[in-house]
Amino acid sequence: MQIYNTMSKKKEEFVPIEPGKVRMYVCGPTVYNLIHIGNARPMIFFDTVRRYMTYKGLEVNYVSNFTDVDDKIIKKANEEGVSSEEISKRYIEECKKDMASMNILPATTHPLATQEIDGMLDMIDTLIKKDYAYPAVDGTVYYRTRKFMDYGKLSHKNLDDLRSGERQLKVSGQDQKDDPLDFVLWKPKKEGEPFWKSPWCDGRPGWHIECSVMSKKYLGEQIDIHGGGEDLVFPHHENEIAQSEACSGKAFANYWMHNAFLNINNHKMSKSAGNFFTVRDITEKYDGQVLRFFMLTAHYRTPLNFSDELMESSKTGYERIVTCVSNLTYLLEGDRAAQITDEEKEQIKEALVYRRNFENAMDDDFNTADAISAIFDLVRYTNSKVSEDSSREFLETLKNEIVSLADILGLIVERKEELGDEEIEKLIEERQAARKNKDFARADEIRNQLLDMGIILEDTREGVKWKKA
């Protein structure tokens, strides 16, 4: 399996630290609003990486955080006159619903920054003891960027170039830093902000330290893969490397993977410019599966442009697979010859080539675009070979082949039998009872079972509501 590493700017053979196991950390969203479709790109892509690695027999420990303390969360809380905690809790719940609608599996762990403050205090303390960090007079703790000799190795930036850029910036607190390049690890509280006690001042952590600490706690000092959108390469990931490696004295992550941006009508999508869509906006119009399909039609390192036209063609493409599978289901419902013919056996051998093409594409730095083409080729082949005369085994084998390849990409292409409203309500009641008994595993199982049938649950103040995707 070849992975493009942002650090070396090359594709490299993937060799995990511990044979058979993968430790992967992906920076998650800041939760102050419904997630937008740009945020969905890394979520869908890294979920697909995880699914493919699992398919290859690797055990993936996948950690993705929620940043639940941040200026934007505080601003939103003040606007609404509620606590930051209420805002972050609300949008974590909403984010989880969006993830489910796009068939994104929950990570092994979704840590919250606010629950990991002790680890952050420890890491900052270690960095101060090693002289990689220092507190300023007002209690702000800064990282001593120049002391970390490898600074810039991920983003391929040169410290002196950075320095000349920094000089033109008027950054607050600049005068109390030893060097303009130093960045914040801990900052003093302001009026009306959440804060924690620390040896330096009452305050809160900087953003970069959060990920270094959560990655270390849940995956260890050295990990296989660290991922996120390409905007995070600098400074976020560069700073994470500086913190983690200065602290442990070891290489932090072996493979750095970054997805390119999702644009809208060829313009950068940005919340401030108002040209963005939330996942919710889109899934009201399209099945979450179509959105997932759309994201996977491009290689993750190429920018992807979002438009109605492309969504419509994704819908057509996705439905082509679904239709092929339902035709097979329909044929299987009738009386079919039990005995597979020699000709059919040969054809099945031929059909297996598409799985090889699929794997070759995925092994080549997760080329999901070519993997989808391999599924289309298989669909075309299937349509050309099956008929009323096909044997049961032949039909079943081809159907399983299509369904299982799509499933590796997290695409559900088999329409399950529709449930009646009453049966849905019954399952929802059972889920509520399970939650009451703190049997969250069963509750999640029911949610997923319903999701598989295209039914999305929403926990509202008035109780549980459901809708068809």
Judged by CB under 6 A, which of 41, 216, 292, 431 binds ligand AMP? 41
Distance separating alpha carbons of residues 330 and 328, to the nearest angstrom: 5
x-or-dash string of contact with ligand AMP, 218-247, rule CB under 6 A: ----------xx-xx---------------
Query: Is residue 269 a contact point for ligand AMP (CB under 6 A)?
Result: yes
The backbone torsions φ and ψ at residue 225, rounded to the nearest 5 degrees and listed phi first, read -125, 135
Q: Which does 211 bind (CB under 5 to 8 A by kind): ligand AMP, Zn ion, none?
A: Zn ion
Cβ distance to ligand AMP smaller for residue 29 or 111:
29
The backbone torsions φ and ψ at residue 449, rounded to the nearest 5 degrees and listed phi first, read -60, -45
CB 440 within 8 A of CB 389: no
Cα 463 to chain centroid distance, Å, stands at 29
Amino acid at 468: K
Q: In the complex, what is the shortest distance from the CB of residue 10 to Zn ion, in angstroms, rounded to a whole number?
A: 23
Cβ distance to Zn ion smaller for residue 22 or 211:
211
Q: In the complex, what is the shortest distance from the CB of residue 223 to Zn ion, in angstroms, rounded to a whole number?
A: 12
Judged by CB under 6 A, which of 5, 6, 39, 243 binds ligand AMP? 39
Q: Which does 41 bind (CB under 5 to 8 A by kind): Zn ion, ligand AMP, none?
A: ligand AMP
| Residues near Zn ion (CB under 5 A) | 27, 211
Q: Which does 30 bind (CB under 5 to 8 A by kind): Zn ion, ligand AMP, none?
A: ligand AMP
Cα 469 to chain centroid distance, Å, stands at 21
Q: In the complex, what is the shortest distance from the CB of residue 337 to ligand AMP, in angstroms, rounded to a whole number?
A: 50
Helix pair angle (368-385, 392-408), 10° resolution: 170
Query: Is residue 281 a contact point for ligand AMP (CB under 6 A)?
Result: no
Q: In the complex, what is the shortest distance from the CB of residue 159 to Zn ion, in angstroms, rounded to a whole number?
A: 22
Contact stretch for ligand AMP (CB under 6 A) within 33-41, 110-118, 137-145, 313-321: 33-41
Q: Which does 261 bind (CB under 5 to 8 A by kind): Zn ion, ligand AMP, none?
A: ligand AMP
Which tokens in the block code for residue 333? 């419902």
- Residue 54 buriedness (CB in 10 A; 0-12 / 13-18 / 19+): middle
Helical segments of 334-420, H only: 342-363, 368-385, 392-408
Query: Is residue 214 a contact point for ligand AMP (CB under 6 A)?
Result: no
Q: In the complex, what is the shortest distance from the CB of residue 27 to ligand AMP, in angstroms, rounded to a whole number?
A: 5
Q: In the complex, what is the shortest distance from the CB of residue 72 to ligand AMP, in angstroms, rounded to a whole number?
A: 9
Which tokens in the block code for residue 415? 């329409």
DSSP state of 299: -
Q: In the complex, what is the shortest distance from the CB of residue 140 to ligand AMP, in angstroms, rounded to a whole number?
A: 22
Query: Is residue 262 a contact point for ligand AMP (CB under 6 A)?
Result: yes
Question: What DSSP element (H or E) covers 187?
Answer: strand 183-188
> Tokens 């309500």 appear where?
425
Q: In the complex, what is the shortest distance from the CB of residue 263 to ligand AMP, in angstroms, rounded to a whole number?
A: 7
What ranges make up the beta strands (E) of 300-355? 304-306
Q: In the complex, what is the shortest distance from the CB of residue 306 to ligand AMP, in angstroms, rounded to a whole number?
A: 9
Q: How many residues bind to ligand AMP according to rule CB under 6 A?
A: 15
Distance separating alpha carbons of residues 203 and 195, to the nearest angstrom: 5
Distance separating alpha carbons of residues 179 and 9, to the nearest angstrom: 29
The backbone torsions φ and ψ at residue 27, rounded to the nearest 5 degrees and listed phi first, read -65, 130
Cβ distance to ligand AMP smaller for residue 234 or 466:
234
Query: Is residue 65 a contact point for ligand AMP (CB under 6 A)?
Result: no
Query: Is residue 27 a contact point for ligand AMP (CB under 6 A)?
Result: yes
Cβ distance to ligand AMP smaller for residue 235 or 454:
235
Nearest Cα neighbor of 64 from 5, 94, 24, 119 is: 24
CB 382 within 8 A of CB 328: yes
Q: In the complex, what is the shortest distance from the CB of residue 179 to Zn ion, in angstroms, rounded to a whole number?
A: 23
Q: In the complex, what is the shortest distance from the CB of residue 468 to ligand AMP, in angstroms, rounded to a whole number?
A: 28
CB 159 within 8 A of CB 220: no
Q: Which does 292 bind (CB under 5 to 8 A by kind): Zn ion, ligand AMP, none?
A: none
DSSP state of 105: P
Cβ distance to Zn ion smaller for residue 42 or 152:
42
Distance separating alpha carbons of residues 2 and 45, to the nearest angstrom: 16
From the CB of residue 156, how many other CB atoms can be counted at a distance below 10 Å?
Answer: 12
Q: Is 40 helix (H, G, I), strand (E, B) or coil?
A: helix
Cβ distance to ligand AMP smaller for residue 34 or 201:
34
Query: Is residue 69 a contact point for ligand AMP (CB under 6 A)?
Result: no
Cβ distance to ligand AMP smaller for residue 231 or 389:
231
Residues 32-50 as b or e (16 or more Cβ within 10 Å = b): bbbbbbbbbbbbbbbbbbb
Judged by CB under 6 A, which of 29, 203, 288, 454 binds ligand AMP? 29
User: Which residues here bind ligand AMP, judged by CB under 6 A?
Assistant: 27, 29-30, 38-39, 41-42, 228-229, 231-232, 259, 261-262, 269
